[in-house]
Chains A and B, each alone.
Chain A
Amino acid sequence: MNLIVFALLALLAITAVAIAQLRELWAVIMFTGIYSFLSASWMIILDAPDVAFTEAAVGAGISTVLMLSTMALTGKAEDIPRKSSVVPLFVVIVTGATLVYGTLDMPHFGSPDAPVQVYPDPSFVERSEADMHGLPNVVTALLASYRGYDTLGETTVVLTAGIAVLLILRKNEDEQDDTAPLARNKSS
Chain B
Amino acid sequence: MTPDLLPSELTAGVLMATSFAVLLTMTLALIRAALGPTVFDRVLALNMFGTKTVLLISVVSFVTGRSDFLDLALLYSLMNFIGMVALLRFTQYNDFGGSVAAPGESETR
List the interface of chain A (C-beta within 8 A of B). 1, 3-4, 7-8, 11, 14-15, 18, 22, 26-27, 29-31, 33-34, 37-38, 40-41, 44-45, 49, 52-53, 56-57, 60-61, 64-65, 68-69, 71-72, 171, 180, 183-184, 187
Contact = CB atoms under 8 A, between A and B. Distances in A.
Interface of A is mostly: helix
A45 B61 CA distance: 9
A11 B72 contact: no
A1 B23 CA distance: 13
Contact of B49 (A37, A52, A171): A37
Nearest to A17: B34
Interface string B27-49: 10010011000010011001001
A18 B34 contact: yes
Closest 10 pairs between A and B when the two form their complex, measured CB to CB? A61-B79, A65-B86, A69-B96, A7-B23, A68-B90, A18-B34, A64-B83, A37-B53, A60-B79, A30-B46
Interface in B60-109: 60, 63-64, 68-69, 72, 75-76, 79-80, 82-83, 86-87, 90-91, 94-97, 104-105, 108-109
Contact of A44 (B49, B60, B96, B108): B60
A44 B57 contact: yes
Given A49-B68, A56-B76, A180-B108, A31 B33 contact: yes
